[in-house]
C-alpha cells in the first residue's frame, strides 16, 4: 500500500470519522460522569478545516451532537479547550468579562524540536528511532513525578502524530487548578533553562532535590546507549566541543612548566576513537576534581541532564484556556493518528508503526471485501457497527489503551462517590 499523501486527506477523513474514530469512548472521557451541571456543554472544541480555516468556540449539548458535527465538517484537526462558565458557542452573547475558562485538564506538550541543540541525528520536525528515546525518557521522568511527587492518578499519554507527545492529567482536583498552580508544577518539573545563546542550561544546587535524583536514575538507564552510542555525542570535534564547553576549564587543562596550560583532555581524546571511551576519560577527570572543587561536583550529572532531561512548553501547561490537539486526531502532514501510549510497553512504542489514516481506510476496504460488503452488519445500530469496525483495524490496540484508562478512572470515581456517601451516612 502507498504511503500517506497529504492531498488524499479530504477523501479519507469522511470514512475515518464515520467508521473508525472511537466517539463512544471519547464522549465517556469528556463527560467525566456528568460531574457537574452542563459540564460537557461548556467544553470548547476547535476545528481546523481545509485551507487552514480555524473555527474556535464550538460546543455541543451531547457527545452525539459533537459526533454528527465532526462527521459533517470533517476537520483536519480537532483541538480540545477548557470548560467555560458559559457555553462557548454563546461567548459573543455573554457580557464582557463574564465568559471565563473555569477548568481543564493539566496538559504537557513535549516537542522534539526543543532538543535540536543536543541531538545529532535529526533536526526540526524530523524524528528517527535514535532520538525518539528522548520521548521515552521524558515520559518516564514526568510520569513518575506526577504519580509519586504530586499524588496524581489519572494520566493519558498521547503521541502527537509527528514529533512529540502530550500528557492529559485528568484528576478532578487538578482540573480545577489555577494558572499559577499549573505554572508552579511546570517550574518544578523543569531543569533546562535558557535559549539558543545559553551554553550551560543545567546548573544544580549543592543539595540535590529528590526529584532531580530520581530523574537522574532514569537518565542513567538510557544515557550510554542513547547519548554515547546512538547519538555519539563525543564522536566528532564539533560535537565533543559542545560537551566540553559545559566542563570547567580546571578539569580540561593541565599545567606544564611555569605557565603553559594545555587542554590535556583534547590530547587524550585523539587516542580514543568512540564516545564511550571518551566519556570514560572525561568522567574520570571530573571525579578527580569533584572532591577538591565543589562547583565541579555535579558536572557529570549536569551534562547528562542537559542532553536528556525533558523540555516542557510552559505556555501550553499554564493557560487554562490553551487548546491542545485531541487524541485520535489525524496529523495532516504525516497522516498518523494521535494515539494513546501504553506505559507498560513504553520502550516498545514505535511512532513509525502508528497507523496512518490511509492504512486504516485500506484495512476497512479489505474487511468489507472479505465479508461480502459487510453483510453481517445489516440491521445493526450505527454505534455497534463502528465499534466493531475499529476493532478490525490496526488502531484497535491503541483504542484498548484508551479504554483501560477510562475504566480505571471511572472505577476510581465510583470508589470516591461511595466513600463520600458513606461519610454522609456516618454523619
Let me know: does 261 contact 250? Beta carbons within 8 Å. no
The grid coordinates listed for 405 are 484508562
Let me know: does 396 contact 390? Beta carbons within 8 Å. yes
User: What are the backbone angles phi and psi of residue 188, rounded to the nearest 5°?
Assistant: -60, -35
C-beta neighbour count of 194 within 10 angstroms: 12
Let me know: does 30 contact 80? Beta carbons within 8 Å. yes
Candidates 79, 103, 105, 111; catalytic one: 111
363: annotated active-site residue: no
Distance in angstroms (rounded) separating the CA atoms of residues 240 and 224: 15
What single-letter DSSP state applies at residue 2? P
CB within 8 A of 156, min separation 6: which ones?
167, 168, 170, 327, 340, 402, 405
CB within 8 A of 272, min separation 6: which ones?
278, 281
Candidates 67, 105, 109, 300; catalytic one: 109
C-beta neighbour count of 78 within 10 angstroms: 24
H-helix or E-strand spanning residue 15: helix 9-19
109: annotated active-site residue: yes
Distance in angstroms (rounded) separating the CA atoms of residues 402 and 29: 9
Candidates 44, 103, 171, 302; catalytic one: 44
5: annotated active-site residue: no
Let me know: does 83 contact 92? Beta carbons within 8 Å. no
Query: Any idea which residues carry the catalytic annotation?
Result: 44, 109, 111
Amino acid at each position: 500500500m502507498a504511503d500517506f499523501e497529504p492531498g488524499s486527506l479530504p477523501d479519507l477523513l469522511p470514512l475515518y470519522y464515520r467508521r473508525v474514530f472511537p466517539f463512544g469512548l471519547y464522549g465517556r472521557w469528556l463527560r467525566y460522569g456528568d460531574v457537574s451541571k452542563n459540564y460537557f456543554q461548556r467544553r470548547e472544541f476547535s476545528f481546523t478545516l481545509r485551507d487552514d480555516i480555524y473555527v474556535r468556540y464550538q460546543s455541543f449539548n451531547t457527545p452525539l451532537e459533537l459526533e454528527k458535527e465532526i462527521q459533517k465538517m470533517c476537520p483536519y484537526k480537532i483541538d480540545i479547550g477548557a470548560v467555560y462558565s458559559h457555553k462557548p458557542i454563546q461567548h459573543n452573547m455573554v457580557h464582557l468579562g463574564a465568559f471565563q475558562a473555569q477548568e481543564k485538564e493539566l496538559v504537557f506538550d513535549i516537542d522534539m524540536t526543543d532538543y535540536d541543540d543536543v541531538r545529532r541525528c535529526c533536526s526540526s520536525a524530523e524524528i528517527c528511532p535514535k532520538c525518539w528515546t528522548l520521548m521515552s525518557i521524558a515520559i518516564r521522568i514526568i510520569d513518575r513525578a506526577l504519580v509519586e511527587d504530586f499524588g496524581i492518578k489519572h494520566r493519558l499519554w498521547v503521541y502527537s502524530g509527528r514529533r512529540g507527545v502530550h500528557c492529559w492529567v485528568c484528576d478532578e482536583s487538578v482540573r480545577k487548578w489555577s494558572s499559577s498552580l499549573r505554572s508552579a508544577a511546570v517550574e518544578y518539573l523543569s531543569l533546562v533553562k535558557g535559549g539558543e545563546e545559553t551554553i550551560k542550561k543545567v546548573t544544580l544546587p549543592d543539595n540535590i532535590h529528590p526529584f532531580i535524583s530520581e530523574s537522574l536514575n532514569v537518565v542513567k538507564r538510557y544515557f550510554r546507549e542513547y547519548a554515547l552510542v546512538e547519538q555519539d555525542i563525543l564522536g566528532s570535534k564539533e560535537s565533543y566541543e559542545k560537551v566540553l564547553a559545559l566542563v570547567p576549564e580546571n578539569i580540561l587543562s593541565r599545567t606544564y612548566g611555569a605557565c603553559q596550560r594545555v587542554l590535556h583532555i583534547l590530547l587524550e581524546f585523539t587516542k580514543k576513537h568512540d564516545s564511550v571511551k571518551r566519556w570514560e576519560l572525561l568522567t574520570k577527570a571530573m571525579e578527580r576534581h569533584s572532591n577538591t572543587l565543589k562547583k565541579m561536583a555535579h558536572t557529570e550529572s549536569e551534562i547528562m541532564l542537559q542532553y536528556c532531561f525533558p523540555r516542557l512548553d510552559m505556555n501550553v501547561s499554564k493557560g487554562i484556556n490553551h487548546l491542545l490537539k485531541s487524541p485520535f486526531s489525524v496529523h495532516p502532514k504525516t497522516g498518523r493518528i494521535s494515539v494513546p501510549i501504553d506505559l507498560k510497553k513504553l520502550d516498545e512504542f514505535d511512532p513509525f508503526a502508528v497507523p496512518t489514516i490511509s492504512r486504516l481506510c485500506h484495512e476497512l476496504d479489505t474487511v468489507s471485501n472479505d465479508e461480502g460488503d459487510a453483510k453481517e452488519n445489516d440491521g445493526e445500530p450505527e454505534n455497534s457497527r463502528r465499534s466493531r469496525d475499529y476493532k478490525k483495524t490496526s488502531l484497535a490496540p491503541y483504542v484498548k489503551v484508551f479504554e483501560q484508562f477510562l475504566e480505571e478512572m471511572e472505577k476510581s470515581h465510583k470508589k470516591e462517590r461511595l466513600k463520600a456517601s458513606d461519610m454522609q451516612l456516618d454523619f
